[in-house]
Structure 1
């Protein structure tokens, strides 16, 4: 069965993410207009994350490596890997997580 989530139905999550379409094994979310930061703590998730940057600039720090991200870049955060984002310019990205992020 197909599922649609319209902009009017999208709900903001506890960390500011916008919940998009989701299923049993994969889910999408959007981080919209995330403001520059320098002190976002490291986190570790049990889901694998792939993302696509729509606008802005950020560094993804994952597993001790820093990767610079800008509009048009895509990225992967492996499950169980400690990571954080250092946002330099107002940042919007769409991510898919598997299994769905909680």
Structure 2
């Protein structure tokens, strides 16, 4: 059975993420209009994350390596890897996680 989730009416998660479509083994979410910051703590999660940057600019730090992300870039954060994001310009990205996050 097909399921439709509209970003306009989707639930906002505890960290500001918008929960989009979600299956048993894969979930999708959007970070919309994240404002610049520099103080997000390092974290780890049990899921693998792949993402695509729609707009803005950020630095992604994964296991001590820093990469700059801009519109059109995609990225991977391995499951269990220590990571953080520094938002440099108002940032919107879509991520898929396996298993589904949160």
**Alpha-carbon deviation of 1:6?**
1.6
**1:36 alignment partner in structure 2:** 36
- Give the Cα–Cα distance (whole angstroms) in 2 for the partners of residues 78 and 91 of structure 1: 21
**Alpha-carbon deviation of 1:5?**
0.4
**1:86-97 alignment runs, 5 A limit:** 86-97=86-97
**1:1-102 alignment runs, 5 A limit:** 1-102=1-102
**Alpha-carbon deviation of 1:16?**
0.2
- Give the Cα–Cα distance (whole angstroms) in 2 for the partners of residues 41 and 26 of structure 1: 25
- Cα RMSD (Å) of the superposition? 0.7
Structure 2 gap segments, 5+ residues each: none
Which runs of 4 or more aligned residues in structure 1 lie more than 6 Å from their structure 2 counterparts after TM superposition? none
Structure 1 gap segments, 5+ residues each: none
What per-residue deviation string (whole Å, max 9, x for no partner) do you get for residues 73-94 of structure 1?
A: 0000000000000010000000
- Give the Cα–Cα distance (whole angstroms) in 2 for the partners of residues 55 and 48 of structure 1: 22
What per-residue deviation string (whole Å, max 9, x for no partner) do you get for residues 55-75 of structure 1?
A: 000000001100000000000
**Alpha-carbon deviation of 1:8?**
3.9
